[in-house]
Amino acid sequence: MDLPAQRRLKAIQSHVLSSTNADQSDLQANLTSSQFVHRQQYSVCLPEKLQTGKWNVYRSARSPMKIVTRFHDHPEIETLHDNFVHAVKTFGDYKYLGTRARADGMIGEYTWMTYGEAGAAREAIGSALRFHGLQKGACIGLYFINRPEWLIVDHACTAYSYISIPLYDTLGPDAVKYVVNHADVQGIFCVPETLNTLLSFISEIPSVRLIVVVGGVDEHLPSLPLASGVKLISYTKLSSE
C-alpha cells in the first residue's frame, strides 16, 4: 500500500505533462517589478502544462531546476520568523501595517505602524504569553477580523513557537467551540464583539487559560469566576507586561 506522501506525489504527477524537450532553452523569463527593483527577473516558466487547464508552472529564476531551502544571498533566512526579522532589520523605518479610522461616516487618513514598531509589538506579545505560562507549542486562537493586531499575534506565534489557530466568527459559535476543543487552544485573542460569544460557552472549552481582548478596556471587562481558571486581560495591558 502506498504511503500518504506517495499517493500525494502520484496525484500531483497526474496533473503535470512533462516536456519531451529537456533543453533548458524552453525556460521563459517572467519579468516582474516592485517598489525597489525594476524589471528584475524573479521567476521562469517551466516547460510543463497542467492537464486541467492552460496554466504555467513557475519556479524561482535563481533555481529553476530544483527547490531550495534558503536564499543564496541570505542564507540566514530559513523560516517565516527569520524572514520577518530580516525585514525589521532592513526596513525598520518603512511603513508596514496601516489602518483607517471611520468618523461620522467618513474614512480618515491611514495611520501606519513601521516594521520596527511591529517587531517590538511582536516581542511584547510573545514574551507576555510566555509570562502567563503558555509553553512552546501551545495553540493560540485568533477570533477577530483582519487588523494589525491579528498579524502581530501571528508574528508572535512564529517567533515564540506557538501555533496560531484562526477562529472564524462567520461559521458560528458551534464551529468556534469545536475548533478550540479539537486544537486544545490555550489562549484566545478576540474583540469585545466576539468576547460575548466566547463567554457564552466558556465552561465548554476547558483548555482555554487566557483570553486577550483587542480594543478592550480592562476596567470594562467582565469578571470571571475563579473556578473558571481563565485569565481575562486587554491587549493593551498584555503588551505592556
Confidence band (pLDDT; 50, 70, 90) for 40?
Answer: low
62: which 3 cell numbers? 535563481
Number of domains making up the chain: 2
Give the angle subtended at the CA of 34 by the CAs of 30 and 37, to the nearest 5°. 85
Among candidates 63, 86, 66, which has minimal Cα distance to 74? Answer: 86
> Same structural domain for residues 50 and 152?
no
Using a pLDDT cut of 90, give the percent of the chain over it: 54
**Alpha-carbon torsion (100, 238, 152, 187), positive or negative:** negative
Q: What is the mean pLDDT of residues 48-69?
A: 71
For cell 516547460, what's the residue? 47
- CATH number, domain at 229? 3.40.50.980
**Domain membership flag for residue 84:** no
**What is the extent of the structural domain holding 52?**
20-68
Rg of the chain, C-alpha, whole Å: 23
Query: What 8-state DSSP symbol labels residue 184?
Result: T
**Of residues 142 and 29, which shows the higher confidence score?**
142
| Sequence-distant (≥ 6) Cβ neighbours of residue 6 within 8 angstroms | none
> Same structural domain for residues 102 and 63?
no
pLDDT, tens digit, 9 for 90 and up, residues 189-222 = 999 999 999 999 999 999 999 999 999 888 889 8
30: which 3 cell numbers? 517572467
> Same structural domain for residues 105 and 55?
no
**Domain membership flag for residue 130:** yes
Q: What is the mean pLDDT of residues 84-97?
A: 96
**Of residues 97 and 18, which shows the higher confidence score?**
97
Q: How far apart are CA 35 and CA 171, in angstroms?
A: 38
**Domain membership flag for residue 45:** yes
**Domain membership flag for residue 40:** yes
> Same structural domain for residues 108 and 205?
yes
> Same structural domain for residues 60 and 144?
no
Kind and range of the H or E run holding 200: helix 192-200
